[in-house]
Structure formats: structure tokens, C-alpha cells
Amino acid sequence: MFGCREQGKGLAVIAILLGLSASARAADERVLYASIGDATRAPIGWVEFCAETPDECRGGPSQPRDVVMTQSAWRDLTRVNRWVNENVRPMTDMEHWGVIEKWSLPTDGYGDCEDYVLLKRKMLMDAGWPREALLITVVRDKMGEGHAVLTVKSDKGEFVLDNQNENVVAWTETGYRFVKRQSQSDPNVWVALGDARPAVSTASARDRQ
């Protein structure tokens, strides 16, 4: 559990303790989704999150980059996914903040699906992974509910880090319908992924006893 002032330092220490490597290298972009649509609206909560934590959204146009999925990189992904899933406790935004939807880094140890995603993304970026390969993604889960995951683009395909799954899996193995995600070229541009129905990533994290 981290206080807000210790957030950056604390996450950096976590990355060191996990033994994350900074071995990610640029590779040619390989789009594996059936279709990538036009720019679309950001998910509810993203703009407010960026206003409160501009360092997390700073970027601007850049060249798309995929990571080279070495054995070391794969170990990094699985460690980060499992560590965050085990150490952040699920709590809805209404319970946590008294509002329906709020994106935030779970510095107090509690959060819902998009908060898990934000922490995983930050930990990987702090360890040297390229932002262009770490894409916050809005999906519809198997119940048809809005949900957020982290898509990692690599030379071996696209993989998903999910608070509802301790394993890192290919996007085709999730059973989800993909709605929208960040553009590789600009973190503040969101692109449609085929499911045209509106989706708000308000699904709470999987309950654990």
C-alpha cells in the first residue's frame, strides 16, 4: 500500500523487486485485429484521469512499436500481471470514491478493472517497455459487460493482461469482444475495434475471498 506522494518511488521499487528487464526493443507494427476503425471517443474517466495525472498521459504522436517477445519479456509480463492481481483488492468506484466511474492508480491497494490496467502499464513503462506497445483496451466480457484490459503488442502477436485472469493470454483466447483501445501512435487517441455499441469500463474486479 502506497501513499500518493510515494507513488512514483514505490512503483519503481516494485519494478526492481520483480526483476523486470528493460529488454523491449522496437519492431514493425503488426495489426492482428480483424479491423481497426476510425478514431473514437475516449472511455469515460480517461480525460479526467489525464487532467489529474498529466504525467501518465503525456506523449503525443510517435511511431508505433511492438516489443520483441523474448523469454525474459514474457516472464516480465506474467510477473506483473500476477503481482498486481494479487496485491490490488477489488473495489468498485462507487464504493471507493462515491462515483460511478473514476480512473486512478491504485496507490491505496484498491481499485477496479481500469485501475489494475493503469498500474500494470505504469510498472512496465517504468521498467523500460515502450508505451506504444502497451495499449489500454475496452472490451465486453463474456457477460456482455464493459471491462478494461491491457493489450501488449509484440512480434509474436497481441497478448492481454487481465485482472480476471492470472495468466497472460493471446487476445483471441479471451472470449471478449474488443470495443476500442489507445492508438499506438498517440496515447490520447482512441480507435474503434469493431463493436460499435457504447461500452463503459465500469466492471468491477473479480471478487476474491
The model's pTM is: 0.79
For residues 82 and 43, is the Cβ–Cβ distance under 8 A?
A: no
- What is the pairing mode between strands 89-90 and 110-111? parallel
Task: Using the predicted structure, report yes or no on whether residue 13 has a pLDDT greater than 80.
Answer: no
Q: Whole-number mean pLDDT of the chain? A: 81
Pick from 87, 124, 130: nearest CA to 106: 87
Of the listed ranges 42-56, 142-156, 192-206, the least confidently predicted one is 192-206
Q: Give CA separation, 67 vs 131, 143, 156, in Å.
A: 10, 31, 9
Q: What is the structure's pLDDT at 62?
A: 84
For a pLDDT cut of 90, what percent of the chain falls above it? Answer: 67
Domains plus CATH for the chain? Answer: 4-192 (3.10.620)
pLDDT at 200: 43
